[in-house]
Amino acid sequence: MASKAAIPRPEHPNPQRMRSDWLNLNGRWEFELDPGVSGEARGWSSGKTFSRKILVPFCPESSLSGIGEKDFMPCVWYRRRFALPESWRGKRVLLHFGAVDYDATAWVNGNEVGRHRGGYSSFAFEIPSALKSGPNELVVRAVDDTRSLLQPAGKQSKRFESWGCFYTRTTGIWQTVWLEAVPRTFIRSFRFHAGAKSVGIHATLDGPAEGLTLATVAKAGGREVGRVEIPATGSAAFDLPLSFVRLWEPGNPFLYDLELQLFKGRRAVDTVCSYFGLRTLRIEGKRFLINEKPVFQRLILDQGFYPDGVYTAPTDAALKRDIELSLDMGFNGAAPSESVRAAPALLGRPAWLPGLGRICRLGTRPRQSARAGARSPGVDRRRRARLQPSRDRRLVPVQRDARLARRRDAARRLPRDQGPGPDPAGD
């Protein structure tokens, strides 16, 4: 695993699909602006030393990046070197990007390894044919024409300044970049279909599956509660029976640990760690039911902007703090403003989640997905401080404005055709 010393956002970026062989590429990269979008024609894809430094994964508009450029940047370039661990020799290597806004192209040692369009989704390129022993060069270009109206921009302002509900732009890399080593045949993806008493799993392999066995193990509190072993195929769907059933629910978000392994004989050739929860969701009339229990949704709109990191939370603890503040205000869910902006960070299980014990994102918007903080419906009102957002997005406690309250109460007592009249509190 990558060393965590002096690396921003050192945690594994996708705890739902964790392998032990991964290398975090966050940190100082070379950086260059390319206002004419002519860098490729000038040979910047290899061997070019860029003049500035940027702290990845923070976007160049952010103060945390060390750049802090707020103007439009139609094209930006990144460059760094990396060396693979000796233990990765002979394995396939995947280059992962949590998110790059918007049109990203990557070169390894001067060889183009892939291109991806889309500012809010993760992607990966396989790069072994481009690798060499010793230091390897990685160059990334991001083209981002926010004002073109030809690409989704979310809440990013199309003016120089922020206005209305449109804010600071995000250009280029804004989520973790990392390398992952996988065997010749590996578990490419898997999906869960969890109900109240069982979980269905659909797993897809990449590579020849002959002679391999797929073993899936579920654990609760470290104790094995379910196991299935089947002959490996390119794609397999199966049920995992559980000897111990405990539901995930608001205020008690219990999660099972899951391990998927590919075996050749008795030797494990690939291991992926994940987790899941059991619950049912249903709508009955105007009621929303979780595990057949009605839950009244008190949701908050999460704009998801940070004063120092813009789209990117400065730390994992900052994400936790957002959820805790929402809980303290009495909300039990959140609707992220951006499409899937929050997914890379919030869909995973951060290290603090088991200790928090109150996590539950109940509400989502179309094409949005993120887990939110939740608290049981009976919130202790004596402990709930009234909060409001300050200009730098931090939440600070405030007291009820007594004069405003008296004005509101007086207005309620007036006939419908009368205005509120003078301020009852006086000016």
Containing H/E element for 264?
A: strand 256-264
Whether pLDDT at 301 is above 90: no
d(CA 251, CA 373): 9
- Beta partners for residue 190, in sequence order: 203
**Cβ pair 341, 167 in contact under 8 A:** no
pLDDT (tens digit per residue) in 208-236:
999 999 999 999 999 999 999 999 999 99
User: Mean of the per-residue pLDDT values for the chain?
Assistant: 81
Q: Please tell me the distance from the alpha carbon of residue 65 to that of residue 52, in angstroms, as a whole number.
A: 11
At residue 201, the 3 state secondary structure works out as strand
pLDDT at 3 over 70: no
pLDDT of residue 223: 97
Instruction: Give the span between the Cα atoms of 176 and 179, in whole angstroms.
Output: 10
Q: What is the location of CATH 2.60.120.260 in the chain?
A: 22-182
Judge contact between 415 and 397, C-beta under 8 A.
Answer: no
Contacts of 407 (CB under 8 A, 6+ apart): 420, 423, 424, 425
Asked whether residue 57 carries a pLDDT value surpassing 70, the answer given is yes
**Burial category of 86 from C-beta neighbours within 10 Å (exposed 0-12, middle 13-18, buried 19 and up):** exposed
In the block, which residue shows the tokens 């539901």?
247
Question: What CA–CA distance (Å, rounded) separates 350 from 12?
Answer: 9
What does the alpha-carbon distance between residue 58 and residue 91 come to, in Å, rounded to a whole number? Answer: 30
Q: What does the pLDDT read at residue 252?
A: 87
Residues of the chain with CATH 2.60.40.10: 186-276
235: number of Cβ within 10 Å: 11
Instruction: Indicate the DSSP class of residue 50.
Output: P
pLDDT of residue 282: 93
Rg (CA), the chain: 25
What number of other Cβ atoms are within 10 A of residue 426's Cβ?
Answer: 6
Homologous superfamily (CATH) for 22-182: Galactose-binding domain-like (2.60.120.260)
SS3 labels along 105-143: EEEECCEEEEEEECCCCCEEEECHHHCCCCCEEEEEEEE
Domain 186-276: CATH superfamily, name plus number: Immunoglobulins (2.60.40.10)
The pLDDT of 345-371, averaged and rounded, is 37
How far, CA to CA in Å, does 32 sit from each of 112, 154, 310? 19, 25, 20
Q: Lowest mean pLDDT: which of 113-122, 171-180, 371-380?
A: 371-380
pLDDT band at 365 (very low <50, low <70, confident <90, very high): very low
The fraction of the chain above a pLDDT of 90, given in percent, is: 63
For 369-425, list the strands marked E by DSSP. 387-389, 395-397
pLDDT value at 163 more than 80: yes
Residue 284, helix vs strand vs coil? strand
Residue 139 pLDDT > 50: yes
Report the C-alpha gap between 161 and 390 in whole angstroms.
19
pLDDT of residue 386: 34
- Rounded distance between C-alpha atoms, residue 138 and residue 81, angstroms: 6
| Ramachandran angles phi, psi of 384, nearest 5° | -90, 110
Position 198 pLDDT exceeds 90: no
What value does the mean pLDDT take over residues 35-54?
97
Q: How far apart are the first and last CA of the chain?
A: 64
Q: What is the pLDDT of residue 338?
A: 58
* Token duo for residue 128: 């072994």
pLDDT in tens, 71-89: 999 999 999 999 999 999 9
3-state secondary structure of 409: helix
Across 266-287, average pLDDT: 95
